[in-house]
Amino acid sequence: MKTVLILTLALFTFSLISTRKTENVTQEAVTKEAPDNDFNLTDVMTQCNESFRIQMSYLEALNVSGSIPDETDKTPKCFLRCVLEKTKVLSEDGEFDVERTADVLSMVRHGTAKNDVEEMANRCSDRPEKCQCERSYNYLKCLIEADLERHKME
Protein backbone atom coordinates (compact mmCIF):
# COMPACT_ATOMS: atom_id res chain seq x y z
CA MET A 1 0.00 0.00 0.00
CA LYS A 2 1.11 3.51 -0.68
CA THR A 3 1.05 6.24 1.91
CA VAL A 4 0.31 9.87 1.37
CA LEU A 5 2.35 11.89 3.60
CA ILE A 6 1.13 14.99 4.68
CA LEU A 7 3.31 17.43 4.40
CA THR A 8 2.99 14.79 5.92
CA LEU A 9 3.70 15.71 4.02
CA ALA A 10 2.38 15.28 6.16
CA LEU A 11 2.67 15.65 4.45
CA PHE A 12 4.52 16.38 4.98
CA THR A 13 4.32 16.50 8.43
CA PHE A 14 4.39 14.84 7.97
CA SER A 15 3.15 11.96 8.25
CA LEU A 16 5.61 12.48 5.52
CA ILE A 17 8.36 10.57 7.21
CA SER A 18 6.30 7.89 8.85
CA THR A 19 5.44 4.72 6.98
CA ARG A 20 2.92 1.97 6.68
CA LYS A 21 3.94 -1.46 7.91
CA THR A 22 4.36 -2.79 4.39
CA GLU A 23 6.61 -0.01 3.14
CA ASN A 24 9.63 1.89 4.38
CA VAL A 25 10.54 5.44 3.45
CA THR A 26 14.28 5.79 3.34
CA GLN A 27 16.08 8.69 4.98
CA GLU A 28 17.32 9.53 1.49
CA ALA A 29 13.75 10.18 0.34
CA VAL A 30 13.07 12.43 3.32
CA THR A 31 16.22 14.51 2.94
CA LYS A 32 15.92 14.87 -0.82
CA GLU A 33 15.36 18.40 -2.00
CA ALA A 34 12.14 19.45 -3.63
CA PRO A 35 11.76 19.46 -7.41
CA ASP A 36 12.66 23.13 -7.62
CA ASN A 37 15.44 22.74 -5.01
CA ASP A 38 14.08 25.39 -2.67
CA PHE A 39 13.77 23.37 0.56
CA ASN A 40 14.94 20.30 2.42
CA LEU A 41 12.07 18.50 4.11
CA THR A 42 14.10 17.44 7.14
CA ASP A 43 15.16 21.06 7.71
CA VAL A 44 11.58 22.29 7.29
CA MET A 45 10.23 19.79 9.80
CA THR A 46 13.01 20.64 12.27
CA GLN A 47 12.31 24.37 11.94
CA CYS A 48 8.57 23.90 12.40
CA ASN A 49 9.08 21.61 15.37
CA GLU A 50 11.07 24.37 17.10
CA SER A 51 7.95 26.56 17.10
CA PHE A 52 5.27 23.87 17.32
CA ARG A 53 6.55 20.85 19.23
CA ILE A 54 4.69 17.68 18.42
CA GLN A 55 5.22 14.01 19.13
CA MET A 56 6.05 11.63 16.31
CA SER A 57 3.06 9.54 17.40
CA TYR A 58 0.78 12.36 16.18
CA LEU A 59 2.31 12.21 12.72
CA GLU A 60 2.12 8.43 12.69
CA ALA A 61 -1.55 8.53 13.69
CA LEU A 62 -2.27 11.09 10.96
CA ASN A 63 -0.51 8.91 8.43
CA VAL A 64 -2.33 5.72 9.40
CA SER A 65 -5.83 6.99 10.18
CA GLY A 66 -6.10 10.43 8.63
CA SER A 67 -6.48 12.20 11.97
CA ILE A 68 -4.43 13.17 15.00
CA PRO A 69 -5.18 11.68 18.44
CA ASP A 70 -6.42 14.94 19.98
CA GLU A 71 -8.21 17.11 17.45
CA THR A 72 -8.65 19.87 20.03
CA ASP A 73 -4.86 20.37 20.20
CA LYS A 74 -3.87 23.27 17.93
CA THR A 75 -0.11 22.71 18.21
CA PRO A 76 0.10 19.80 15.74
CA LYS A 77 -2.26 21.61 13.39
CA CYS A 78 -0.02 24.67 13.43
CA PHE A 79 3.01 22.43 12.88
CA LEU A 80 1.31 21.16 9.73
CA ARG A 81 0.51 24.73 8.63
CA CYS A 82 4.16 25.66 9.13
CA VAL A 83 5.34 22.73 7.01
CA LEU A 84 2.85 23.49 4.26
CA GLU A 85 3.88 27.15 4.21
CA LYS A 86 7.61 26.42 4.15
CA THR A 87 7.15 23.90 1.33
CA LYS A 88 5.00 26.43 -0.54
CA VAL A 89 1.99 24.13 -0.63
CA LEU A 90 0.12 26.81 1.33
CA SER A 91 0.59 30.35 0.04
CA GLU A 92 0.87 33.50 2.14
CA ASP A 93 -2.71 34.36 1.18
CA GLY A 94 -3.94 31.00 2.49
CA GLU A 95 -4.48 29.15 -0.80
CA PHE A 96 -3.37 25.57 -1.42
CA ASP A 97 -1.25 24.92 -4.51
CA VAL A 98 -2.52 21.66 -5.98
CA GLU A 99 0.41 21.20 -8.36
CA ARG A 100 2.91 21.93 -5.61
CA THR A 101 1.11 19.42 -3.35
CA ALA A 102 1.54 16.77 -6.06
CA ASP A 103 5.21 17.68 -6.59
CA VAL A 104 6.08 17.52 -2.91
CA LEU A 105 4.16 14.33 -2.18
CA SER A 106 5.57 12.54 -5.21
CA MET A 107 9.07 13.63 -4.12
CA VAL A 108 8.59 12.08 -0.70
CA ARG A 109 6.55 9.07 -1.81
CA HIS A 110 8.17 7.89 -5.00
CA GLY A 111 5.60 5.76 -6.76
CA THR A 112 2.71 8.05 -5.82
CA ALA A 113 1.12 9.21 -9.05
CA LYS A 114 1.07 13.00 -9.34
CA ASN A 115 -2.25 12.88 -11.21
CA ASP A 116 -3.88 11.00 -8.32
CA VAL A 117 -2.55 13.54 -5.81
CA GLU A 118 -3.68 16.46 -7.95
CA GLU A 119 -7.18 15.00 -8.25
CA MET A 120 -7.42 14.49 -4.48
CA ALA A 121 -5.89 17.90 -3.77
CA ASN A 122 -8.42 19.61 -6.03
CA ARG A 123 -11.25 18.04 -4.07
CA CYS A 124 -9.63 18.84 -0.70
CA SER A 125 -8.38 22.38 -1.35
CA ASP A 126 -11.66 24.27 -1.04
CA ARG A 127 -11.64 24.72 2.74
CA PRO A 128 -14.17 26.76 4.73
CA GLU A 129 -12.03 27.13 7.87
CA LYS A 130 -10.80 30.64 8.72
CA CYS A 131 -7.93 29.51 10.96
CA GLN A 132 -4.91 28.58 8.80
CA CYS A 133 -3.87 25.84 11.26
CA GLU A 134 -7.32 24.24 11.07
CA ARG A 135 -7.40 24.62 7.27
CA SER A 136 -3.98 23.00 6.91
CA TYR A 137 -4.88 20.09 9.15
CA ASN A 138 -8.19 19.49 7.40
CA TYR A 139 -6.52 19.70 3.98
CA LEU A 140 -4.03 17.00 4.92
CA LYS A 141 -6.70 14.98 6.69
CA CYS A 142 -8.82 15.07 3.52
CA LEU A 143 -5.85 14.01 1.36
CA ILE A 144 -4.88 11.14 3.64
CA GLU A 145 -8.45 9.91 4.05
CA ALA A 146 -8.94 10.02 0.26
CA ASP A 147 -5.72 8.07 -0.23
CA LEU A 148 -6.69 5.50 2.40
CA GLU A 149 -10.08 5.07 0.73
CA ARG A 150 -8.46 4.75 -2.70
CA HIS A 151 -6.21 1.96 -1.40
CA LYS A 152 -9.17 0.09 0.04
CA MET A 153 -10.66 0.01 -3.45
CA GLU A 154 -7.50 -1.52 -4.99
Q: Does residue 13 lie in a domain region? A: no
Range of the domain at 116: 27-153
* Full-model pTM: 0.76
Decide: 48 and 16 in contact? Cβ < 8 Å. Answer: no
Residue 19 in domain:
no
Classify residue 34 by its DSSP letter.
P
Number of structural domains (the chain) is 1
Q: What's the helix, strand, coil split of the chain in %, to 5?
A: 55, 5, 40
Angle of helix 74-86 versus helix 56-65 axis, rounded to 10: 80
CATH number of the domain that 121 lies in? 1.10.238.20
Per-residue pLDDT of the chain (154 residues; tens, 9 = 90+): 333 333 344 343 333 333 333 233 333 334 444 445 477 888 999 999 999 999 889 989 998 888 999 999 999 999 999 999 999 999 989 999 999 999 887 776 555 678 888 999 999 999 999 999 999 999 999 998 988 887 777 6
How far apart CA 42 and CA 53 sit, in angstroms, is 15
Query: Does residue 47 belong to any structural domain of this protein?
Result: yes
